[in-house]
């Protein structure tokens, strides 16, 4: 495949079940290469999309094998690298950990692509990436992207702005210098930080929900060899959807028997139990709540959410990671585990073809990205930058002397 800058092509690293692809294909992106080490996730991917010769089941550290499978020069590469070592579960080993450290395998691939290096990158991980090793891991990633020629941006998006699931995720975006035309805005080196007349600062200020104070502080102190670049896209609008909109209330669901309901009810904190009883007495249409089992003060507790939002979907490594559905129907309290179809809906992929193995499905979706989040990033950042690059190519082909420059 030749390098055609008019093609909207991308590679999806740490692809899992392909929800980045699910989001990007909706605006015309074409996946030319997908990589993941997990055979069961590949099974789900191909169960949904069909046989995929471009899906490479293998270790990203096998750089030569990866390079041999990437056709031409993709415009974009995405990497949802493992978050385990950024969390307490991974003892916060950060990029020194075996799983999260696979980011360096991905960066090695990008480096060795040479003149086939993607024009843009999109990296995704948990917000703990920012604070891992007192911010050193985040700074390391920023500097590594800059050394590969990418101007960088970073932001945090919570899935609950689009679907009823609390799932904040941190993103890093990298842009090669050839993309530094409108709509990209670069931070000028000769402008004082916080200057009100700085277009980059204005764009950052307008999208204040995307960048918590600690992230903004890091961006103000880290000086990549290239620089910071962003798009003046503002903040996402919050969806009015509630968890009750994605939960199935029918009698055909695997509801627990009364003994199991009573056992879990006894695990509630008193204040949660009182709130549930008030909702049962209130009546109205069927209502859904969600809960996790947690050990608190040496006792197993069931912590219930009452804000209309599910907790962050996780891979089912034990009962504390599986989410419980509480449903109030005609005053009756029902409980069961959340189903794979509901996991799919909470990731914005309600029509995804599910495997027959429930645990396999829960693992696949628990490790995945939220489709509407990636769609928003695409709509406001990736596709506008792609379209800007096409305008630049057309200008060059027409013999224009001055190509449009990035706003500074």
The answer to whether the beta carbons of residues 246 and 254 sit under 8 Å apart is: no
Separation CA 388–CA 258 (nearest Å): 60
The 10s digit of each residue's pLDDT in 329-367 is: 999 999 999 999 999 999 999 999 999 999 999 999 999
> E strands, 201-275, where?
229-231
pLDDT band at 323; cut points 50, 70, 90: very high
User: What is the pLDDT averaged over residues 220-249?
Assistant: 95
Q: What is the mean pLDDT of the chain?
A: 90
- The mean-pLDDT minimum among 126-130, 196-200, 251-255, 389-393 falls in 389-393
Q: Which CATH class is domain 9-238+368-397?
A: alpha beta
Answer whether residue 371 shows pLDDT above 50. yes
CB within 8 Å of 372: residues ≥ 6 apart = 23, 159, 162, 163, 239, 348
Separation CA 358–CA 337 (nearest Å): 11
pLDDT for 84 equals: 57
pLDDT for 88 equals: 44
Q: Per DSSP, what are the bridge partners of residue 125?
A: 170
CB within 8 Å of 154: residues ≥ 6 apart = 138, 142, 170, 171, 172, 173, 211, 215, 218, 219
- The mean-pLDDT minimum among 82-86, 141-145, 308-312 falls in 82-86
Domain ranges of the chain: 9-238+368-397, 249-338
Whether the bond between 215 and the residue before it is cis, its omega within 30 degrees of 0, is: no
- Return the H-helix or E-strand segment holding 106: helix 103-112
Q: Please write down the long-range contacts of 84-92, taking CB distance under 8 Å and 24 or more positions apart.
A: 85/132, 86/125, 86/126, 86/128, 86/129, 86/132, 86/137, 87/126, 87/128, 92/128, 92/132, 92/133
Q: Is 83 annotated in the active site? A: yes
Name the active-site residue from 11, 31, 83, 370: 83
CB within 8 Å of 378: residues ≥ 6 apart = 23, 24, 27, 29
User: What is the pLDDT averaged over residues 250-261?
Assistant: 97
pLDDT band at 287; cut points 50, 70, 90: very high
């Amino acid at each position: 495949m030749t390098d055609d800058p008019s093609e909207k092509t991308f590679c999806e690293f740490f692809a899992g079940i392909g929800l980045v692809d699910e989001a990007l294909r909706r605006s015309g992106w074409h996946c030319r290469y997908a990589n993941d080490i997990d055979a069961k996730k590949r099974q789900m991917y191909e169960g949904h999309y069909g046989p995929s010769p471009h899906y490479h089941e293998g270790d990203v550290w096998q750089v030569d094998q990866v390079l041999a499978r990437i056709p031409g020069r993709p415009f974009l590469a995405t990497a949802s690298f493992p978050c385990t070592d950024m969390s307490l579960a991974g003892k916060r080993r950060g990029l020194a950990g075996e799983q999260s450290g696979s980011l360096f395998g991905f960066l090695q691939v990008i480096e060795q692509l040479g003149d086939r290096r993607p024009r843009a990158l999109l990296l995704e991980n948990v917000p703990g990436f920012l604070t891992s090793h007192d911010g050193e891991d985040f700074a390391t990633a920023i500097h590594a992207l800059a050394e590969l020629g990418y101007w960088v941006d970073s932001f945090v998006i919570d899935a609950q702005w689009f679907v009823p699931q609390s799932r904040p995720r941190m993103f890093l975006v990298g842009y090669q210098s050839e993309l530094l035309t409108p709509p990209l805005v670069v931070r000028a080196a000769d402008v004082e930080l916080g200057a009100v007349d700085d277009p980059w600062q204005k764009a950052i200020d307008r999208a204040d929900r995307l960048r918590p104070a600690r992230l903004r502080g890091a961006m103000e102190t880290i000086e990549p060899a290239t620089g910071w670049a962003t798009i003046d896209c503002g903040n996402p609008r919050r969806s009015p959807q509630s968890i009750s909109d994605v939960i199935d209330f029918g009698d055909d669901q695997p509801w627990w028997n009364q003994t199991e309901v009573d056992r879990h009810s006894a695990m509630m904190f008193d204040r949660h139990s009182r709130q549930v009883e008030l909702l049962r007495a209130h009546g109205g249409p069927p209502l859904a709540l969600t809960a996790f089992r947690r050990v608190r003060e040496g006792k197993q507790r069931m912590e219930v959410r009452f804000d209309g939002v599910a907790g962050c979907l996780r891979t089912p490594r034990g009962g504390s990671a599986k989410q419980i559905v509480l449903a109030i129907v005609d005053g009756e309290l029902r409980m069961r585990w959340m189903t794979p179809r509901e996991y799919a809906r909470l990731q914005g992929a309600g029509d995804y073809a599910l495997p027959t193995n429930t645990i396999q499905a829960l693992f696949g979706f628990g490790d995945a990205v939220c489709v509407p989040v990636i769609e928003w990033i695409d709509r406001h950042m990736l596709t506008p930058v792609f379209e800007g690059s096409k305008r630049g190519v057309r200008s060059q082909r027409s013999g224009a002397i001055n190509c449009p420059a990035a706003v500074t």
